[in-house]
Amino acid sequence: MERVDGKCPQRRSKTKNCTVIFHGDQPMKLDGLSAFRTAILHFSDDPTKVGEKESYTYFPDGLLLVRSGMVEKVGPAEKLLPQLSAQTPVTTFPHSLIVPGFVDCHVHYPQIEMMAAPGGQLLEWLDQYVYPVERQFADPHKAAQRAEFFLDELLRNGTTTALVFATVHPASVDAFFTVAQNRRLRMICGKVMMDRNVPADLTDTPESGYQESKTLIARWHGKDRLRYAVTPRFAPTSSDAQLARAGQLLHEHPGLYLHTHLAENRDEVDWVGKLFPDRSSYLDVYAHHGLLSRRTVLAHSIHLNTRDFQLLHQKEAGIAFCPSSNLFLGSGLFDLKTAEAEKVRVGLGTDIGAGTSLSLLRALNEAYKIQKLRDHVISPFKMLYLATLGGAKTLDMDDKIGNFEPGKEADFTVLDCDATPLLAMRMAACRTLAEKFFVLAMLGDDRAVAATYVMGRPAHLRDRSVSV
């Protein structure tokens, strides 16, 4: 049992990895000041850009202070504890690490039920598995059920913000945002636009896609912590007329996101060349319709040339690197080194159902291996940056989430460094901080997530025997 000071606590609640200690006899005030004590790590910038030492702050025995859902302060426990009143509840997590909530920059919530479906590469796999499942999301009841399950799983994996594909049905977006709003989550989602090259009952039209998106934007964009993304599936499934309407939506509603796929698979790239013969590249299709901005996130972006990366930099568009999905479908090895050299923002995406895990720790494991195959080594610090502040920057949300600067929203994840016997044994043998972070990223997964907090409140506790 950990003690936070010399006083004898009046009340205690205990789970396997979490001890909540109340100093006085006051009940815990959820909207008052709360404190969380363990090792704490967060980033202020990209280690690749500013150098490792300048990129992060680490407190081996830290205290995170949260008031009314927002970060008030973070620092050494020794310094901050004496400043707390006796009424402030302090939650202590032994052998743990608090990091900002993970950010998933590309994921499809309707596809959670067809994860791990064996098959060919992208285009065949879409026909065989994805479209039959997405068809079911016309049913609001089904969509609501899946949205609840998906968000439970996301939180169980320590992810607190995601950029999410729904389906072509407006009901799928309403269901997702309703559930996310009830959980006070910061989420981005949008109705898929696709008017060709998919089964007829899954198509919209340039006009219906535009009108339905407009209605959803009015209903959800900017409501609480929710934001809307205009979401053409990818260039092959939208006509020029539809992509033009997507551009019109962005023009009419400043602040919207644009979320789509780019250059995932070689057959797809060849197909785009045939469908859009007047465009100089796949990326140029999106550029031509005014779809590239600071709030654009392009999933995959594997088969690009240096000119494409330069255009992405010029337009400030971001990339979602989806290592698990890229390996599963055999799509290719993302060129992170060139993206870094050309100063393009990159975050991580799990991209389920093609990805095989919702864990961003698992994504880091596979990202590391992909980059090794490209003769590029990702440092342990860069890995944890990508899963937190790097994702927040890619989503242009780093003014709200991504680290523990005072005033930011207090979404955070508590990683249990002893989650499995192997992890505990390996951690004990680590000699440096970098090695510890590397081991956590390589061997960790959902089992390592002891708790996930949203706006300072517990949204997932691995051991549910006690609610804090």
- Name the residues that contact Zn ion, by CB under 5 A: 299, 351
Shortest Å, Cβ 329 to Zn ion: 10
Shortest Å, Cβ 189 to Zn ion: 13
Report the distance separating Cα 357 and Cα 447, nearest Å.
12
Between 96 and 301, CB nearer to Zn ion: 301
CB 105 within 8 A of CB 320: yes
* CA neighbours closer than 13 Å in the CB half-sphere of residue 270: 4
Between 20 and 154, CB nearer to Zn ion: 154
Shortest Å, Cβ 131 to Zn ion: 13
Strand partners, 95: none
Report the distance separating Cα 264 and Cα 355, nearest Å.
13
CB 25 within 8 A of CB 12: no
Residue closest to Zn ion, measured at CB: 351
**In terms of C-beta distances under 8 Å and separation of at least 24 residues, what long-range contacts does 126-131 make, across chains too?**
129/353, 130/353, 131/198, 131/199, 131/202
Between 36 and 234, CB nearer to Zn ion: 234
Cβ burial, residue 12 (10 Å; 0-12/13-18/19+): exposed
Both structure tokens of 101: 């909530």
Could you list the beta-strand ranges (E) of 68-166.
Answer: 70-76, 90-100, 102-108, 159-165
Between 326 and 365, CB nearer to Zn ion: 326
- Provide DSSP, 114-125: GTT---SSHHHH
How far is residue 319 CA from its own chain's centroid?
12
Closest of 47, 19, 33 to residue 382, by C-alpha:
47
Between 299 and 383, CB nearer to Zn ion: 299
Closest of 458, 440, 422 to residue 359, by C-alpha:
440
- Which H, E and C letters describe 307-345, residue by residue? HHHHHHHHHCCEEEECHHHHHHCCCCCCCHHHHHHCCCC
Shortest Å, Cβ 350 to Zn ion: 10
Report the distance separating Cα 174 and Cα 36, nearest Å.
34
Shortest Å, Cβ 319 to Zn ion: 13
Shortest Å, Cβ 358 to Zn ion: 13
Shortest Å, Cβ 115 to Zn ion: 12
Shortest Å, Cβ 327 to Zn ion: 14
Could you list the beta-strand ranges (E) of 326-387.
Answer: 346-348
Question: What is the maximum span of the chain, computed from C-alpha positions, in angstroms?
Answer: 75
Between 153 and 351, CB nearer to Zn ion: 351
Closest of 63, 70, 62, 4 to residue 32, by C-alpha:
70
Shortest Å, Cβ 108 to Zn ion: 6
Between 76 and 199, CB nearer to Zn ion: 199
Between 291 and 423, CB nearer to Zn ion: 291
Shortest Å, Cβ 7 to Zn ion: 52
CB 411 within 8 A of CB 125: no
Between 222 and 330, CB nearer to Zn ion: 330
How far is residue 280 CA from its own chain's centroid?
32
Between 204 and 268, CB nearer to Zn ion: 268
